[in-house]
Chains A and B, each alone.
Chain A
């Protein structure tokens, strides 16, 4: 009997990567004649646009001069920003009190940054926020410690944008989750109420809601009773955003496998425990990407408050441009504004991606 021969298996070396610049170019830019044409056309387009843009923005530009100097140059007049920065960012906040909204904004940003880390999500954090919010409110409104009262009508610029969008998101999110749960409730009254609410709000534009809050709503109030205009706009934003969040969250709830509910039921968990411990943590995680989309548009939509005569940061920029000295430099001003919005939006979306990564528990 012969010993069985070991089956021989050939082990191939892993293919050698032929990298290098030329190989890379061939593979990625000139892999076919069509791609080559596209590459050349793109290069030409870039060549025609980028150098003049750099020349305009950086070489021929001025950064901190009077409006007169700007008339004589071909480049960008960035001077419009530093020369008007106070009005663009803080609007009509009274002279000499500027430190108050600045401090409030720093406090808000600080708290947001502090709250980013998940290991800090404890009860103490809620207390920090409570204290922080009271301090912020006091700083903005004043009336104590010798700080003159600043009516909400004078709150404007970046603090107003930040406040409307921050509280808009923070309040709309839980409200949206509750609406989503309500829409899936077994109780017909609650379900109908939530469906009607969600569909009604989603059926109208935010602008009309803001109009209603500022013009129609006061008509229904008894004589002499008024509710603050900023607060009304804030509520309109919250109600509007919540309806959209509700639908996204409902999608997440529907994506949950039935087995998760059954496993929770079979352990004897009640409805609230099941939702809080099992279903919502998973469902909300699934819908992080669309939720962030909604929060981002909510952030940008706060600029619509201009139609009820609130001066958010977009409106203060526009007002600056109406100053005869500075008309004509709208490109520069809007680029600045775009960068400002972009920083906030990018921070939000990259944080959401990090959160998704951290919450991933699969393989």
Chain B
């Protein structure tokens, strides 16, 4: 694909297939039915916020999209590749899908720069110098370029999470998944991470974000998905969802967190 992802044409191409398509997906942990009949289509450049009570399966669902969790029924198609047992397909999808974790999961034995260039060098086979230049660009984007030669253990939580975002971006992914990216952070660090995510959204990145940051959802999301008990209960625009939730469970949830 040669088209620049940032152009409006890329985002609004009506003939483009959905970048993620989940059809009738089910998942069990043993006998426990974690996800039941999930259907979801994500368009290019769409920003989706997923919320719901803990244990509702929201993290599990986005972790299925890059096969950190395996689904047992239904289909998941990411950028035209269906996720099956085939390890080659899985690796292809993983390279196209960036993921940011609650606990950052930086590699503590590598410098920030090495964390960022690892994927490009070993998976994309980018020459080292080129990978480092790109990494520097992304570090500047997340306002942390001066830390490039430190180790993750020497950074604050907010800085580490921004590095984690930059690490995913270095792979030039089609989609970014965020699994509660601010839940492990001190309050004063949440904003610096959310700001980076807002910037990213404004550049046209396709994003699926599991979060309880309702301000972020309202500002950025095209759609809010509310999950409960392993099912998608409600899908709506953020405006409608927050002011006029359709389901009892969404109303109850919102009354508890707002």
Question: Would you give the shortest CB distance from B157 to chain A, in whole angstroms?
Answer: 13
Chain B 156-172: CB-based contact to A (< 8 A → 1; otherwise 0): 00000000000110010
Docked complex Cα distance between A266 and B154 (Å):
24
CB interface residues, A 219-268, toward B, < 8 Å: 257, 259-260, 262-268
Chain A 264-293: CB-based contact to B (< 8 A → 1; otherwise 0): 111111100100011001100100000000
Are A267 and B95 closer than 8 Å at their CB atoms? yes
Q: Which residue of B lies closest to A282 (CB)?
A: B109
Tell which of B115-123, B219-227, B237-245 binds the partner: B115-123
CB interface residues, B 145-162, toward A, < 8 Å: 151-154
Are B68 and A268 closer than 8 Å at their CB atoms? no
Chain B 74-95: CB-based contact to A (< 8 A → 1; otherwise 0): 0000000000000100011011
Q: Which residue of A lies closest to B123 (CB)?
A: A268
- Does A363 have its Cβ within 8 Å of any Cβ on chain B? yes
- Does B28 have its Cβ within 8 Å of any Cβ on chain A? no
Question: Would you give the shortest CB distance from B92 to chain A, in whole angstroms?
Answer: 8
Name which of A257, A266, A277 has the most chain B CB atoms within 10 A of its CB.
Answer: A266
- Does B98 have its Cβ within 8 Å of any Cβ on chain A? yes
Tell which of B29-37, B100-108, B228-236 binds the partner: B100-108
Contacts of B154 in A (CB 8 A): 363
Q: Is the interface of B mostly helix, strand, loop or mixed?
A: mixed
Are B122 and A273 closer than 8 Å at their CB atoms? yes
Docked complex Cα distance between A259 and B106 (Å):
9
Are B151 and A268 closer than 8 Å at their CB atoms? no
Are A285 and B109 closer than 8 Å at their CB atoms? yes
Q: Which residue of B lies closest to A262 (CB)?
A: B68
Are B101 and A263 closer than 8 Å at their CB atoms? yes
- Does A362 have its Cβ within 8 Å of any Cβ on chain B? yes
B105, B123, B171: the one contacting A262 at CB < 8 Å is B105
- Does A359 have its Cβ within 8 Å of any Cβ on chain B? yes
Contacts of B99 in A (CB 8 A): 262-263, 266
Known interface pairs A259-B103, A277-B122, A363-B153; A267-B171 also in contact (CB < 8 Å):
yes
Are A266 and B66 closer than 8 Å at their CB atoms? yes
Question: Would you give the shortest CB distance from A264 to chain B, in whole angstroms?
Answer: 8
Contacts of B101 in A (CB 8 A): 259, 262-263
- Does A361 have its Cβ within 8 Å of any Cβ on chain B? yes
Q: How many residues in A have their beta carbons less than 8 Å from beta carbons of B?
A: 22
Question: Would you give the shortest CB distance from B207 to chain A, in whole angstroms?
Answer: 15
Docked complex Cα distance between A79 and B118 (Å):
61
Question: Would you give the shortest CB distance from A357 to chain B, in whole angstroms?
Answer: 14
- Does B205 have its Cβ within 8 Å of any Cβ on chain A? no
Docked complex Cα distance between A3 and B217 (Å):
44
Docked complex Cα distance between A159 and B98 (Å):
55
Known interface pairs A259-B103, A277-B118; A266-B109 also in contact (CB < 8 Å):
no
Contacts of B106 in A (CB 8 A): 263
Contacts of A263 in B (CB 8 A): 99, 101, 105-107
- Does B209 have its Cβ within 8 Å of any Cβ on chain A? no
A259, A267, A359, A363: the one contacting B109 at CB < 8 Å is A359
Contacts of A359 in B (CB 8 A): 109
Docked complex Cα distance between A259 and B103 (Å):
8
Q: Which residue of B lies closest to A274 (CB)?
A: B122
Docked complex Cα distance between A285 and B107 (Å):
14
Are A268 and B105 closer than 8 Å at their CB atoms? no
Contacts of A257 in B (CB 8 A): 105
B66, B109, B168: the one contacting A281 at CB < 8 Å is B109
Are B103 and A361 closer than 8 Å at their CB atoms? no
Docked complex Cα distance between A273 and B109 (Å):
15
Are A361 and B105 closer than 8 Å at their CB atoms? no
B67, B108, B118, B119: the one contacting A361 at CB < 8 Å is B108
Known interface pairs A262-B68, A362-B153, A363-B153; A269-B108 also in contact (CB < 8 Å):
no
Are A266 and B94 closer than 8 Å at their CB atoms? yes
Contacts of B20 in A (CB 8 A): none
Contacts of B152 in A (CB 8 A): 361
Docked complex Cα distance between A262 and B153 (Å):
19
Are A265 and B105 closer than 8 Å at their CB atoms? no
Q: Which residue of A lies closest to B114 (CB)?
A: A277
Docked complex Cα distance between A361 and B114 (Å):
13
Contacts of A278 in B (CB 8 A): 107
12 residue pairs of the A-B complex, CB under 8 angstroms, read: A257-B105, A262-B101, A267-B94, A267-B168, A268-B95, A268-B119, A269-B118, A270-B91, A277-B118, A277-B122, A361-B152, A363-B153
List A residues at the B interface (Cβ < 8 Å).
Answer: 257, 259-260, 262-270, 273, 277-278, 281-282, 285, 359, 361-363
- Extra contacts, 20 of them, besides A265-B67, A268-B92 (Cβ < 8 A), are A259-B103, A259-B105, A260-B107, A262-B101, A263-B101, A266-B66, A266-B168, A268-B94, A268-B95, A268-B119, A268-B171, A269-B118, A269-B119, A273-B123, A282-B107, A285-B109, A361-B109, A361-B152, A362-B108, A362-B153
